[in-house]
Chain A
Amino acid sequence: MPFLTLTDLAKSYGSTHAVRELNLAVDKGEFVSLLGPSGCGKTTTLQMIAGFVEPSSGSIVLDGRDITHAPPNSRGLGIVFQSYALFPHMTVADNVAFGLEMRRLPKAERQERVGAVLALVHLDAHAGRYPRELSGGQRQRVALARALVIAPPVLLLDEPLSNLDAKLREEMQFELRQIQRKVGTTTVMVTHDQTEALSISDRVVVMEAGRITQIDAPQRLYEHPQNRFISSFVGKANVLRGSVVDGGSGAGRQVDLGPLAVEVAGCTAAVGGDVLLGIRPEKLMLVAPGTGQLDGIVRERFFLGSEWLYRVDTALGALLVVRPNDGTQPFDEGHAAGIAWQPALMRVLDEAAA
């Protein structure tokens, strides 16, 4: 039963279409991420849900109530802003209590609920401090607490982790997910960081130029990107161009890539048509020359800590290969190597190759 439904939601500024005919249904308790590069319309969509931007057309229905044109102070949503937007002249406790004050809760109840939510985000010791006395990570948690304490039907997060440094971001990702699971609030998060989106969402909504291009669970999105853009925006990809040579029955074709032909499962293109194929660098294996489907020479290698990233020159062009740092001898630059892969892991990106 969808809890939050966006139907044909659109926003244009003059001749610029920021968001076009967006359709999305979010279930209760679900954690959904809107993922895309800047300018794709994800922030505008969030602002329309929050009520700070008036949609040009379409509707937003929350728990059966049409809130498309409702003023932002009547929607009762919990919002964590990118800059946290804490009230600088109020203490942490007062910041968090503000929403409860607006709902005219008696003081005793307010104090109780504020105390509980501050404990949830591990900030109970800082209740009397002012925002300027807190670190970035602490401010972010205050913003979260302020949004959660009002027990909103939906929690909106606008790039909540982008202002934190890398290590802190990682920690906060997991904490955010933990808290959301615990409290069970339906959550919509906007982010341009695909690692973030993949690691904590139930579903990822990829947006490009104002439209949704794919909605899937994280693993499915990663393993089966629906077009070239998504495959390189979410993770790295090796993109290969070829034409279908052999039909065969059912799904599965032979695709001629030039120097060699490969089996591609799940391909339904007509014989003679062009296709775009993709395979993830971690799905390619570096083996001894002559023992794989393809041979090449290692041009460059990069040490990334937990893994090695190789650029290998082959007859198909330069391919990216990722190998875990498992203690075995890494391949040297300038040396010959073979590349092998499981045919089932070669994906079709686009059946009408651009």
Chain B
Amino acid sequence: MVLRAALLALTLAGCVTTAPPPHRIAHAARPDARLAVSWIGHATMLVQIDDRFVLTDPVLVDTIGAGVSHRKVGVPIDPADLPPLDAVLISHMHSDHLSLDSLAKIEGRVHRLYMPEGGLVYLTNFRFDAVDLARWETVDDRGMQITAVPVQHLGGRYTMDTWMHAFTGYVIRYHGITVYFAGDTAYDARDFRETARRFGPIDLALLPIAPIHPRSIMESIHMDPGEALGALSDLGARRMIPMHFDTFVDSFDRPHEARDDLARLVHARHLEPRVTVLEIGETAKVE
């Protein structure tokens, strides 16, 4: 515990260096895929549904939180190589999900940015259009439907803004394909089952699996790998890609603990056909 706390402190002090990513994304678009996902790290996923591109919680810089927290693994794509983004989804206001510097890097290629209700106050005056969505609110954006769906997390950015409840998950629907993006969430079967009831069948769920420890604190705001598999079951999603692990030091977790726990549980439950674990910079074509 002491060693983990020391590692966390060193990271927050900027003493952890950023390693190069294991893969680099040179060509983000996959013309051969109806549904493809590239993991850029943490909760940043580039989702391609046919000709549409959606980027979730973009963190495209090496430091977040006013320069306090450093990535363990570098950004695997030059922001200039990203395709035109039909939608950027912000799940909540924490620095590892809303990075203003990252938004500045893609400002010219974003059609519209979506935030949870009340989130616009955490945004500066970028050129792109931004809208906030209330829970269960759907926007039809040139044939692609984006809906804010309930999750369990925290909504502020500065610890004291406890009145703010700007956090959400999203469901994206386009050309008959449905993708669920959880952002950060604790396990809440009721939320997941209601989302499944309204939007099922879900083709792909992007689910966080960390941070895990200290569990007494994390369990009310973050799922662990076992709970993420529970969410997969509740959502009834055909496939799952895990996220929100091994990018920042944000907990007392051992390196790769969440990934290893997930692999063990997936094997024990025979879920290999449904769960695809990506490395940072890797792209999966979802069949």
Q: State whether these chains interact.
A: no
Contact residues of A with B, CB < 8 Å? none
